[in-house]
Every structure is written in structure tokens, then in C-alpha cells.
Chains A and B, each alone.
Chain A
Amino acid sequence: NAGVTQTPKFQVLKTGQSMTLQCAQDMNHEYMSWYRQDPGMGLRLIHYSVGAGITDQGEVPNGYNVSRSTTEDFPLRLLSAAPSQTSVYFCASSYRVGGINEQFFGPGTRLTVL
């Protein structure tokens, strides 16, 4: 198993550009989520999904869109990048079994918005 994979590892954008961060998992997990981590801070939840076709907002959803068309993939779209979105982005996945779920995290995407 590759686990949770994220692409790209690094990205530099100009203000106003759009892009999609990719996340995939090969563990057949139902639950997937996106977090951002700003320097010196903990992770904050952006969006999450409990299965294909079902998504909801987390703590900091503004400026981001998600969709979940398959169990494996959960892309995060930045509609119009802003410097405030400079951060490290982590994707995570977990089983949906009785609510006691170990979450598996990807290696992260480091995004800089100029």
C-alpha cells in the first residue's frame, strides 16, 4: 500500500491563480480530510468527506473547494490564491468503523502564494 499520497510536494503561485492539490489513498478509507498548518501552529481542518459524493466544511473553508467523486481521491481546489493561503497542506484518511479511527496523513504540500 502506498498509503496517502499528495502531489505536488511544493508549489509557488501568484496571487489570483487557481490550482488543485491532489490527494489519493489506496486503503479504501471512507473518511478523508484536508488540513492546513501555518508556521508554529497546529493543524486546522479545511474540508472533510465521509464518502463519495459527501463533503462538508471544517474550521477554515473559505477560499477552498472540494469534491469527492471516488473513494480514492479527494482534491482540494484553490479558486483564487491569496498570500494568506501560504501554508503546508495535509490530506488525511481513516476508516469509518465504530468511530474509533486512526487517521493516516500524507507527506504534505508546501504552498507559497506571492
Chain B
Amino acid sequence: GAVVSQHPSWVICKSGTSVKIECRSLDFQATTMFWYRQFPKQSLMLMATSNEGSKATYEQGVEKDKFLINHASLTLSTLTVTSAHPEDSSFYICSASGSRTDTQYFGPGTRLTVL
């Protein structure tokens, strides 16, 4: 099956710093990538959708200036959490889709802890 990787798998940072998370589709070209956030014991919440070469579409309530998404190639999307605060601590998960009719394949997730 399709494989999606994320890096890093976990990160701890100080409040006010920025953190970049990478999402890669390893064996297929991802025309669309998605970013989710998941708090403990809760379901996944979609943050944004990104298509290769175009600006990301953010869900209502997600600050686009705080969560910068770049989808520069068909195999790589990045999420940068700018000026991170403790309330941004969460599990961030990306997924990728190879075509409009393809299902989503999820990465392993990145645990972000902001001190």
C-alpha cells in the first residue's frame, strides 16, 4: 500500500519558537495533502488541505498565519507552527491522496510539546 512518512515523530520546543513538520509520500505522487490535529482522547480535526503548487485551504478557526503550509512538490508538504505556545501542543497527522478518487493514506503523526 501507499506509504506516507512524517518527520520528526516527536518534538519538544520552547514557547515562542517555530517548528517545521515534514510529510512525504514515499511511493506515490500526492496531488493533495491534508493536515490534521488530534488532542488526547479526541478524534482527528482537519486543519487544512493543500494541493501541489497552490495555496492551502484552511478550515474555519485555523489561523493560516500561525500554521504555515507549503506543498512545493508532489511528494512533500510541510507544516510550520510559528510562535508556538503550550496550547499548540498536540498530535499532528498528515495524509496524502494520489488523485481525486483515491483514498487518503496517513502518516504516523508528530507529537508536538511546547514548553
Asked if A and B are interacting partners, one says no
Give me the interface of A with B, judged by CB distance under 8 Å. Answer: none
